Structure 1
Amino acid sequence: MKFYSTRNKTEAVSFKDAIFRGLAPDGGLYMPENAPDLSELINSFTPDTPFNEIAASITQALLSEELDEAAAKRICDRAFDFIPELVGVDDNISIMELFHGPSCAFKDFGASFLASSMEEFLRTDSRKATILTATSGDTGSAVARAFYEKENIDVIILYPSGRVSPLQEKQLTTLGKNIRALEVEGSFDDCQRMVKEAFLDRELSDKLNLTSANSISLGRLIPQSFYYIWAWAQAAADSDNADRSNLWFCVPSGNFGNLTAGIMAHSWGMGNRGFIAATNINDVVPEYLKSGEYNPRASKLTLSNAMDVGNPSNFERMLELFEESHEKMSDLIKEKVITDSETAETIRELLSDKNYECDPHTAVGYLASKRFLESADAVEIDGKAPRIISLSTAHPGKFTEVFDEATGKKPELPARLEKVLKLEKVSTVVGNTLEEMKAVIS
């Protein structure tokens, strides 16, 4: 399979080129050249099929021109020593927990696969590379953990001093070895600008063989499809709905990469009925789904801050997948918008009624699922009511203040986060110019 830019379909590139480039030269996002029919493979998976086997099988099916079966298995086995978990909370709603990886966020799936893929290609080519990225929190911690001790890869992460949470800072600054944290005396915008300037500095870029690991990377998007397909296989265990024709996925959405990965899996042959885009009041895409008008605007701050996006970059990919047809997109994707007060109330209700702790993004998805089941879109198919798998994107321990404010209690921290908080921070403080950064990295 080859991949093209959303802004130029004439130049197709390999998966290897796509992941090391990150963005296409024209600023577009890489997309598969075509949608392969993997329905037979996808439907061959059962509830007993291990997650890593599903991941390796899909990887090999998509990238057979570049990776043989052994290489695909190597990449996935090195990437995933954690798997999703399904938790039933209501008769018709299950929550798919995606926070059981090292940084306790769904981004671990994409970052770990990208790191493992890059390591495989660099070893084969006898090359080295340097990942240079800026973070305002979660992305950096997932990237740091994913690339830790990877062969032939050094990582430099810029973050704004005093503007990430204590936990996020510890996740960035306590690994050492091939992970280097630069604490920038400036804003996140300064960090992003410095990264862009570094890539434009040809001498520096060539010397360090700079590449990126940002969230729009194709190498982080493809592996997010794996957990949809895994959940699809798990759903076959429900004897009342074994054909899964009325199965829906509810996806808390901000930049819409997670939903895009699900749509890609659907286009390859996963036969779920549709998706529910669950957003906070940053409702640019829900507005499009209702009206056909796309009006990007400045984002608004909410409790579910990872979804505070006013112009989602992956909407470009969504338009490609639906051939820019509003009718096709709005048939497969329904929308629900949840306010902050509703989010906090849902966190309280899940704890008091279900004894289930969740972060604000998971709360948005759960309430959106309930609202969908009460809507006119929740129609029966062959006498079967809709079943929903709602995605949980982060551990509640990463949002202790929101959880405490909503419930009056502190969420239980996983042992791996407790351990990180006790480690000593090691960072290099730099000013907010390219020259100051070059002085410490080149």
Structure 2
Amino acid sequence: MKFVSTRNHNNPVSFTEAMFRGLAPDGGLYRPDSTPDLSGFFASLADDVPFNELAADLTSALLGPEISREIIENIIRDAFDFSPELREVSKGMYVLELFHGPSCAFKDFGASFLASSMNHLLSESSVKNSGSGKNGRAIIVTATSGDTGSAVARAFHGRNRIDVIILYPSGRVSPLQEKQLTTLGGNVTALEVDGSFDDCQRMAKAAFTDPALSNLPLSSANSINPGRLIPQSFYYVWAWTRMRSRAVKGNFAFIVPSGNFGNITAGLYAKSWGLPVNHYVAATNANDVVPEYLKTGLYTPRPSQATCSNAMDVGDPSNFERLDDLYENSVDIFRNHIEAFTVDDKTTLNTIARVE
């Protein structure tokens, strides 16, 4: 599988190059340059396939032969000493628990895979001698509204080939998350920004297109990086293997809390590869630019609003560009694959209390 920019489909690059670049030179996001048909692969999976085995097999199906099976197995073994779990909360309704990783955030899955992949591939001579990971090193610049910073800090901490800079908005992450991303030290530096997550994200993106920084081996650990996004598809497939025998006539939907829209984008990529899931629903907080787009056909980013679900406080979700590209810049095609709803703080807190 090769990757191209959402803004220019004519210059495909390898997964390794896309991962170490993070953002395409033209400012676009890397996305797969083709849509593989993995429906046969999905159908062949056992209902009880272990998560690590599924992750290794799916990575091989997507990225082989660029990355050898041996390296893929090493990456997966290093990345995942945890697994998702599926819990029934009422008849026909299940919660996919993604908080069993080291930072208790769902982004542990993507961050751990990315950190492990970079670490293993930086030791390869082919990467050392290419533009990817100059001199066998990388510098991660990433923005966080909470979850990403915690997961990235834990995943990359102590990896001696990689330095990490995390930008986070002052007063807009939880006290626990701030401690998680500011107290590790070593190769992880956290910078508090007087602004919103969107400001942090703009600063991070600007670094990748700044000519003055072009000699540095910069990359990102946000979901703009395909190395963060691709592994998030793993748990959709894993959940499907557990759910397919329970669903009525095979019909079920994923309902996904959405801020920067990376999580649901990973699931929609899996659907495009042949995962037989009927429906995806994005649930946003007051930052409702995507629900508004699906209603009006107009995408109108705006400054983010602070809510109780701070990790989802994104007023201009980066992955909208990937979804818009996937669905041919057509709101009608977009609507055929995804619904989106906004939920206020009161409803969110009442639902949490009821489920607990």
Contact 1:79 1:113 in 2 (8 A): yes
Shift of 1:152: 1.8
Residue of structure 2 equivalent to 1:309: 314
Residue of structure 2 equivalent to 1:253: 258
Shift of 1:235: 0.8
Distance in 2 between residues matched to 1:200 and 1:295, nearest whole Å? 24
Alignment of 1:296-375 (within 5 A): 296-350=301-355, 356=356
Q: What SS does the corresponding residue of 1:266 show, helix, strand or coil?
A: helix
Matched, 1:142 2:148: no
TM-score calculated relative to the size of structure 2: 0.88
User: What are the Cα deviations for residues 195-225 of structure 1, in whole angstroms up to 9, with x where unaligned?
Assistant: 567657767663x533332231111110110
Cα RMSD over matched residues? 2.5
Shift of 1:180: 3.6
Alignment of 1:103-182 (within 5 A): 103-125=103-125, 126=128, 127-159=136-168, 164-182=173-191
Residue of structure 2 equivalent to 1:293: 298
Residue of structure 2 equivalent to 1:230: 238
Matched, 1:60 2:63: no
**Structure index of larger Rg:** 1
Distance in 2 between residues matched to 1:201 and 1:27, nearest whole Å? 10
Q: 1:333 to 1:133 in 2, by over 3 A?
A: closer
Contact 2:20 2:138 in 1 (8 A): no
Residue of structure 2 equivalent to 1:26: 26
Residue of structure 1 equivalent to 2:12: 12
Q: What SS does the corresponding residue of 1:27 show, helix, strand or coil?
A: coil
Residue of structure 1 equivalent to 2:48: 48
Amino acid at match of 1:229: V
Amino acid at match of 2:67: L
User: What are the Cα deviations for residues 125-165 of structure 1, in whole angstroms up to 9, with x where unaligned?
Assistant: 34122223344533222111111222422223345666644
Amino acid at match of 1:38: L
Q: 1:315 to 1:211 in 2, by over 3 A?
A: closer
Q: 1:194 to 1:5 in 2, by over 3 A?
A: closer
Residue of structure 2 equivalent to 1:426: none
Residue of structure 1 equivalent to 2:273: 268
Distance in 1 between residues matched to 2:195 and 2:296, nearest whole Å? 36
Amino acid at match of 1:323: E
Amino acid at match of 1:217: N
Residue of structure 2 equivalent to 1:376: none
Amino acid at match of 2:350: E
Q: 1:211 to 1:84 in 2, by over 3 A?
A: same
Shift of 1:174: 3.0
Alignment of 1:193-204 (within 5 A): none
Distance in 2 between residues matched to 1:297 and 1:182, nearest whole Å? 24
Residue of structure 2 equivalent to 1:431: none
Q: 1:162 to 1:293 in 2, by over 3 A?
A: closer
Q: 1:160 to 1:37 in 2, by over 3 A?
A: closer
User: What are the Cα deviations for residues 390-432 of structure 1, in whole angstroms up to 9, with x where unaligned?
Assistant: xxxxxxxxxxxxxxxxxxxxxxxxxxxxxxxxxxxxxxxxxxx
Q: 1:312 to 1:79 in 2, by over 3 A?
A: same
Contact 2:140 2:163 in 1 (8 A): yes
| 1:219 equivalent among 186, 205, 227 | 227
Shift of 1:45: 1.3
TM-score calculated relative to the size of structure 1: 0.72
Percent identical pairs in the alignment equals: 60
User: What are the Cα deviations for residues 82-129 of structure 1, in whole angstroms up to 9, with x where unaligned?
Assistant: 111111011111000111111111111111111111112101034122
Q: What SS does the corresponding residue of 1:89 show, helix, strand or coil?
A: strand
Shift of 1:55: 0.9
Structure 1 residues without counterparts, runs of 5 or longer: 351-355, 357-442
Q: What SS does the corresponding residue of 1:100 show, helix, strand or coil?
A: coil
